[in-house]
Structure 1
Amino acid sequence: MTAVYQRASDNVYLGNASAANQVLPDGAQGPAWNTGTFEAHYTYSPQLFFIGRYELVRMAQQALASNGSELGNADVFTVGYRYYPFMHSRAGLAWHQEFATGRSRLTSASGQDQRNNSYFMGFDFAF
């Protein structure tokens, strides 16, 4: 299991999509957020391993003080695998697939949560 924590923030003008020479809206402040990633690998064989990953974003400070504290919080869960059909000293091929489902809090036009799913498949060639 691997875990990563990050804390980040933006400039008050960037967070509020305002030009530097414009007046900021009332309650404007620089947004800040905390992120975490937890990833686990299971190695079935040298040619096949599985991954599970959970990523989260929590807003520590909104761009506008009037925004709710959960606005923009995100959760993503990903499962996938990587298979190496052949591995040699001079060449190799990896087939990688992942499925992810995510939820973003209170970000839809109606003020509800948004959910999205994505699928990824790719090949890596090494030689």
Structure 2
Amino acid sequence: MDKRLISKKQEQALKLCHHGHLGLPQDAAAAHMGISQQAISKLLAACEKVAPQLFPILTKQEAWLYHCYMVEGWSPEEMVRANNDTGGDLTLNAVYKTFQRCKTKGLKFSGGRGKVLQLQIEKAEHQIVHKF
């Protein structure tokens, strides 16, 4: 039998807080587990030492905006429009502030990947049309 790298409590805290699972704020996760927010922070810090690849933990909004920008290649204006079309009240300023928070958490932005790919495809099509 394999030895556990993190305790069951640490695993529970990680699943409650991580954006890939429930994505609860630490205070809500602490209330769910019946422990203090400080205890949740300690559990997550211990998890980060063992499995740093699971960090940083993002809020649901941070994860969604980062995905939209880096994977889908959406502009901030497109993100605001998509969110507001579904009843949200996201502003352009909130998008930029969220990106700043993501950067302080250590995430890298290298120009929206989707946009870069789309631009390269359009350039290639343009060259093909004009070459022949």
TM-score computed with the length of structure 1 as normaliser? 0.25
Structure having the larger proportion of residues in strand: 1
TM-score computed with the length of structure 2 as normaliser? 0.24
Q: Structure with the greater relative contact order (CA < 8 A, sep ≥ 6): 1 or 2?
A: 2
Structure having the larger proportion of residues in helix: 2
